[in-house]
Amino acid sequence: MSRIQIVTDSTAYFTKAEAEALNIKVVPLAVTFEGVTENEGYPGEFESFFNKLETSQSFPTTSQPSIEAFASVFQKTIDSGKEVICLVISAALSGTFNSASVAAELTAPDKISVIDSKTTVANLKYLVKMAVDMAEKGMSRSEIVKAIEEQKEKTRADLTVDTLEYLKRGGRLTGAQAFLGSLLNVRPIIGFVDGKLNPVNKVRGKSKALEFMMDRIPENVAHITVCHILNEEEAEELKARLRERFPGIPVELDVIGPVIGSHLGPKAIGICQVWK
């Protein structure tokens, strides 16, 4: 049995079954919507949130886990005789890294490593699974941290949206930009740049957006995940195209939850990739 406990946050979007099978501790971010604050939850629990997002006049806000939430998980783990590696959503997107870091300092800083993944969704999930695998092989905490710090620089996530409405409601576009963009059928491509979600390009039409994202995948790619929000049919089609273009490379399907998905909206789709 591994002597290192891997901890992450809810934006890695592990299902409950996956987290239990891999013995991962998941500390959830929270979403406040129409006056109600709830933990983000797990894949399989997101559909009602996004259905409400389509019809509500309100726009959700999100919040990082508390210091106490991380400290509770850390203390139980330390008390059981294990060390901790905690990988979380990019510090440029959320205060989650800060909460986890403070909790580590208050609990057992000599036995806990907190890593800013500089990413989220499927790429965070990949890094977490990588850490679990290394821990099960008996690698030390310092060895795992070094490997993760190197690998996190070799990831990319690109996303595009079905409508500009949610980028506008979330403050990423002005009303005028959203109106003109909709008239011209503009599809922005949003990617991770220095841990932040920023526009990397804009094209006319969703099919061109998907082509642009596929063309960004490097030849030495090692793993690809198609991420989506209530858009499984299109995601499956994109997955098939990627498998044809990159034979022998694992291509998986995953979902995006409320914390990340609020600003993208239903039918958003993206490609997460990792290379060596």
Tens digit of each residue's pLDDT (9 = 90 or more) over 61-97? 999 999 999 999 999 999 999 999 999 999 999 999 9
pLDDT given for residue 63 in this prediction: 96
Cα–Cα nearest to 159, from 262, 233, 9, 16: 262
Please list the residues that pair with 55 across neighbouring strands. Answer: none
CATH 3.40.50.10170 region(s) of the chain?
A: 4-29+64-151
How confident is the model over 134-155, as pLDDT tens digits? 999 999 999 999 999 999 999 9
Helices 206-215 and 232-245 meet at what angle, rounded to 10? 40
The pTM score is 0.95
155-275: in CATH 3.40.1190.20: no
4-29+64-151: in CATH 3.40.50.10170: yes
CATH 3.30.1180.10 region(s) of the chain?
A: 155-275
Q: Which helix (H) or strand (E) holds 4?
A: strand 4-9
Compute how many other C-beta atoms are within 10 angstroms of the C-beta atom of residue 66.
14
